[in-house]
Copies of this chain bind each other. A is one copy, B any other.
Amino acid sequence: MTTDAPVVVDTTGAQLAEILAAASTAAPDLATRTPAELAGWLDAVASALDAQADTLLPLAEAESHLPARPRLAGELARTTFQLRFFGNLLREGGHLGATIDHADPDWPMGPRPDIRRGHVPFGPVLVFAASNFPFAFSVAGGDTAAALAAGCPVVLKAHPGHPRLSQLTGRIVADALAEAGAPAGVFAVIHGVEAGVSALRDPRISAASFTGSVPGGRALFDIAAARPVPIPFYGELGSVNPVVVTPGAVAERGAAVVSGYVGSFTLGAGQFCTKPGLLFLPAGHGLDAALAEAAGAAKAQPLLNEHIAGGFAKGLATLREQPGVSVLAADPADPTDPTDPTEDADPGDRTEDAAAPRPTLISVSGRDFAANIEVLRAECFGPASLVVTYADTAELLDLLAGLEPSLTATIQGQEDEADLVEALLPPLSRLAGRILWNEWPTGVTVSWAQQHGGPYPATTAPGTTSVGAAAISRFLRPVAWQGFPLAFLPPALRDDNPLKVPQRVDGELRLP
C-alpha cells in the first residue's frame, strides 16, 4: 500500500493562493449554516474515516512506527468519537452563548436597549498538525473538529512526519464534506514549511492552532503576533508534567506507584505531551531498586522519526551529565551511558538502538535539582524521566515553585494526608491545566470537562483548551445585536428559541 501512494510534494505558492481564496469564499457561507448542518458534516467525516480504517492504519504504522493495534486503532477511534462528540455539542447549542437582554427603561445605570449576544465563526483557521498523534492531533484531529464545528473553514498544515497519511486523510475528509453538502473551500491540506508560514502571514487566516515543540511553536506564535493584523495563535508547546508522591503513598502502595509511573512515562515511547517527566519522591523512599527493575524491564520502542530520536538523545545526554544526576535504568546500547558495555563496538551497530531506545530513568536530589533547575526542569521528549527526592514539604514546595507550567500535574497521595494535599493543590493549580489524583496523566479523555492547556510554555493561550467541549470556543467570536427586529436576528437569539438552545434571558439562565 505505502509504495503505491504518490510522493507528497510541498504545496506551491499558486496552490496555496487558490486554497486560501476558496477558504475565504467558504467562510461567509459556513457562517449561515445551522448547528445541525455542521453536525451532519462532522458525522459524515467520522463515518468515512471509520470506513477506511483498514487503509489508514497500515499507512499510519509505516510512517509513524507506532503499532497499528491497539495504539493507532484506538487513536483513530478516539478521533472519530471526537468528531461525533462535537456534533452532539452543536445540536445542544450551548456553544452559541445565546444571551438576551430585553430593553429595560429602569436599568439602574440608565435605560437599557434590547441587546442580544451570540457567537459567530472566526473565519478561516490554519491548523498545524502534530507528529506524535497521526490521527487525534493531525489532519482530522481535535483542532480540525473544533474549528469545523465552530463553522470555520480549515487549512491544515500537514506534519512532515506522516505526509502520505496526511494526504490520504485529507482526501477522505474533503470528499466526505463535499458529499455531505459542504461548500468548496471548507477544508484543504497543505504541505511544507514555506506554505505553512505563508498561510500564517496571510490576511485571510483569522486564527491558528498548533501542537508541537516549544521552539517551533514559539516561532509561529511570534509570526502570528507580528502580523500587521495579529491573530489568536493557540499553541500547545512543552510540558514536563510533574508528579508528586507523598510519604503516605510510598508507605501504602509504593510498588503500585512505581509500576504506574513507569507504565505512564514509557507509554508510546514517552512521546506524549502528557508524559510524566518528573517524579517527586520523599527522601529515603526505598524504591530505587523497584524503579530500576520496572524501567529496565520496559521494552524498547521505535521513535516517531530521526529528528525526534536525535532530539531525545541530545536532551537526555544533557540531563545525564548534570551534577548529582545518577542513572537508575538506561538503555545498555546508549553511547552516552558511562557504564555502556558496548562502548567499544562499531557505532554502526547502534543505529537501530538509537531509533528505538530502551527507557531511561535518572535520579537527582532536591538540592541538586534546585541548584540546576533551569536545565533539569526541561522537557525531554521520549522515553526518559527524572526522579527528584525531596527532604520535606518545605523543600517540595520550593521545588514546585521553580517549575515552568505544564499541561498536567499529579498527586499520588492518601486521603488522610489532608494538610499536605491542601498545601499542594494551590501551587499545582497555578502550574497546570489539569490536576490528577492517584491517576496518571497520559491518556486524555474527550469530554465536557476536559482541560488540555495551561500557562506558557504549556500553551500560548492559557485561557483555552485544545481537547474537550470548550475547544470550540477558540474559534468563535461574540457579536451583539442591538435593537433589531426579531426577523433579522440569528435564530438562537430569538425569543421563541427555534433552535431550542440554552439562553440567558435578562440575566437568568434558561434551559429549553
Interface residues of A (CB under 8 A from B): 28, 31-32, 74, 77-78, 81-82, 88, 92, 94, 97, 99-101, 107-110, 112-113, 115-117, 120, 122-123, 206, 221-222, 225-226, 229-232, 415, 418, 421-422, 425-426, 429-430, 432-439, 443, 445-451, 453, 455-457, 460-465, 468-470, 473-474, 476-485, 487-488, 502, 504, 506-507, 509, 511
Chain B residues within 8 Å of A117, by CB = 448-451, 468, 470
Question: CA separation between A439 and B480, bound complex, in Å?
Answer: 13
Q: Which residue of B lies closest to A427 (CB)?
A: B28
Contact, CB under 8 Å: A509 / B94: yes
Chain B residues within 8 Å of A453, by CB = 478
Given contacts A480-B451, A485-B415, contact A28 B502 (CB under 8 A): no
A482 partner, pick from B122, B429, B434, B482, beta carbons under 8 A: B434
Chain B residues within 8 Å of A74, by CB = 110
Q: Which residue of B lies closest to A404 (CB)?
A: B229
The smallest beta-carbon distance between A244 and chain B, in angstroms, is 14
The smallest beta-carbon distance between A218 and chain B, in angstroms, is 9
The smallest beta-carbon distance between A117 and chain B, in angstroms, is 4
Question: CA separation between A134 and B93, bound complex, in Å?
Answer: 39
The smallest beta-carbon distance between A461 and chain B, in angstroms, is 7
Chain B residues within 8 Å of A473, by CB = 463
Contact, CB under 8 Å: A116 / B456: no
Contact, CB under 8 Å: B448 / A507: yes
Chain B residues within 8 Å of A101, by CB = 445, 447-450
19 A-B pairs (CB sep. < 8 Å): A77-B108, A88-B507, A94-B504, A101-B448, A115-B447, A115-B449, A206-B455, A221-B230, A222-B225, A229-B455, A230-B460, A231-B456, A418-B487, A433-B479, A435-B480, A435-B482, A451-B480, A462-B477, A464-B478
Contact, CB under 8 Å: B437 / A480: no
Contact, CB under 8 Å: A115 / B445: yes
The smallest beta-carbon distance between A195 and chain B, in angstroms, is 24
A232 partner, pick from B116, B438, B462, beta carbons under 8 A: B462
Question: CA separation between A225 and B220, bound complex, in Å?
Answer: 12
Contact, CB under 8 Å: A504 / B448: yes
Contact, CB under 8 Å: B123 / A430: yes
The smallest beta-carbon distance between A512 and chain B, in angstroms, is 10
Contact, CB under 8 Å: B479 / A474: no
A478 partner, pick from B92, B109, B470, beta carbons under 8 A: B470
Given contacts A115-B449, A511-B511, 7 further A-B pairs with CB under 8 A are: A28-B430, A99-B449, A107-B447, A222-B226, A229-B457, A232-B463, A435-B480
A426 partner, pick from B31, B432, B502, B507, beta carbons under 8 A: B31
Chain B residues within 8 Å of A82, by CB = 109
Chain B residues within 8 Å of A456, by CB = 229-231
Question: CA separation between A177 and B485, bound complex, in Å?
Answer: 43
Chain B residues within 8 Å of A97, by CB = 470
Contact, CB under 8 Å: B480 / A434: yes
Chain B residues within 8 Å of A112, by CB = 445, 447
Contact, CB under 8 Å: B99 / A81: no
The smallest beta-carbon distance between A215 and chain B, in angstroms, is 13
Contact, CB under 8 Å: A437 / B206: no
Question: CA separation between A28 and B426, bound complex, in Å?
Answer: 7
Contact, CB under 8 Å: A99 / B448: yes
Question: CA separation between A50 and B453, bound complex, in Å?
Answer: 41
9 smallest A-B Cβ distances: which pairs?
A451-B480, A225-B225, A81-B109, A117-B449, A99-B449, A101-B449, A434-B480, A437-B484, A437-B483
Q: Which residue of B lies closest to A434 (CB)?
A: B480
Chain B residues within 8 Å of A415, by CB = 485, 487
Q: Which residue of B lies closest to A77 (CB)?
A: B109
Most chain B beta-carbon contacts within 10 A, residue among A82, A88, A511 = A511
Contact, CB under 8 Å: B449 / A116: yes
Q: Which residue of B lies closest to A104 (CB)?
A: B447
Q: Which residue of B lies closest to A469 (CB)?
A: B99
Contact, CB under 8 Å: A438 / B483: yes
Question: CA separation between A436 and B502, bound complex, in Å?
Answer: 24
The smallest beta-carbon distance between A226 and chain B, in angstroms, is 8
Chain B residues within 8 Å of A231, by CB = 456
Contact, CB under 8 Å: A100 / B479: no
Contact, CB under 8 Å: B478 / A474: no
Q: Which residue of B lies closest to A488 (CB)?
A: B421
Contact, CB under 8 Å: B445 / A488: no
The smallest beta-carbon distance between A425 and chain B, in angstroms, is 7
Contact, CB under 8 Å: B81 / A437: no
